[in-house]
Chain A
Amino acid sequence: AQSVSQHNHHVILSEAASLELGCNYSYGGTVNLFWYVQYPGQHLQLLLKYFSGDPLVKGIKGFEAEFIKSKFSFNLRKPSVQWSDTAEYFCAVIGRNDYKLSFGAGTTVTVRA
């Protein structure tokens, strides 16, 4: 069975600081990878996705993620965060021929002005 592990439960940082959220997965086959963001009181929205090709993926709002196949990782990064990036971030993985998207437990990011 596939599983997703997010390293940090809660991250607190100041505006303009750099952000990196860790994500590791386990799955015995080819996967598609996603990062979703949930702003306070809202539903989940897609931040970025990886299916194939360039392992460095750029998403919305200045976020990017790097797929390292050998490490089964898909870490999310942003060079300079803003207060509006305060949200919960979820890593998710699905097998190429599967229907079941598995989510990590989520990382709450609090950005202080």
Chain B
Amino acid sequence: NAGVTQTPKFQVLKTGQSMTLQCAQDMNHNSMYWYRQDPGMGLRLIYYSASEGTTDKGEVPNGYNVSRLNKREFSLRLESAAPSQTSVYFCASNYPGQRDSPLHFGNGTRLTVT
């Protein structure tokens, strides 16, 4: 049981390049999330998908797009990377309809944009 799997673990991009961060969960969770973690700012929600076929903006969606490919997979795309997007990105999933359903996190992707 792998839980939440993110790829890649590390990535270096040049300004203007594009890339897609992949996330998959094998817990049959309905909802999936993308967060970015920056020093002193905690985790900030970029986008989330409450259920298969839906996506919504979080706190900091600018510069990102997402795709909920199926129930298992939720990808995050940077169309034109900027240095401000240097961060650690975490994917997470849960059953929001269940009262005691905490988020399960992946191991993170450390992205550097030069």
* Interface pair B99/A90, CB less than 8 Å apart: no
Q: Chain A residue with minimal CB distance to B40?
A: A105
In the assembled complex, how far is the CB of residue B26 from the closest CB belonging to chain A, in whole angstroms? 16
Indicate whether A101 sits within 8 Å of B31 (C-beta atoms), given known contacts A43-B90, A90-B43: no
Q: With the chains together, A99 CA to B45 CA distance in Å?
A: 11
Q: With the chains together, A104 CA to B100 CA distance in Å?
A: 20
Question: Which of A49, A100, A101, A103 sits near B100, CB closer than 8 Å?
Answer: A49
Main secondary structure of the interface of A (DSSP, over half): loop
Total interface residues in chain A, CB < 8 Å: 22
Q: With the chains together, A106 CA to B39 CA distance in Å?
A: 9
List of B residues within 8 angstroms of A43 by Cβ: 90, 105-108
Q: CB-CB contacts of B93-112 with A at 8 A, as 1s and 0s?
A: 00010011011011110000
Indicate whether A100 sits within 8 Å of B48 (C-beta atoms), given known contacts A43-B90, A43-B108: yes
List of A residues within 8 angstroms of B44 by Cβ: 103
* Interface pair B102/A46, CB less than 8 Å apart: yes
In the assembled complex, how far is the CB of residue B21 from the closest CB belonging to chain A, in whole angstroms? 14
Q: With the chains together, A102 CA to B43 CA distance in Å?
A: 8
Report how many A-B pairs have Cβ atoms within 8 Å.
Answer: 48
* Interface pair A51/B100, CB less than 8 Å apart: yes
Q: CB-CB contacts of A2-41 with B at 8 A, as 1s and 0s?
A: 0010100100000000000000000000001010000000
Is the CB of A44 closer than 8 A to any CB of chain B?
yes
Q: With the chains together, A32 CA to B95 CA distance in Å?
A: 14
* Interface pair A99/B31, CB less than 8 Å apart: yes
Is the CB of A70 closer than 8 A to any CB of chain B?
no
List of A residues within 8 angstroms of B100 by Cβ: 49, 51
| Residues of B45-69 contacting chain A, CB below 8 A | 45, 48, 50, 56, 58-59
User: Can you list 9 residue pairs at the A/B interface with Cβ under 8 Å?
Assistant: A32-B99, A44-B43, A44-B105, A99-B56, A100-B58, A101-B103, A102-B45, A103-B35, A106-B42
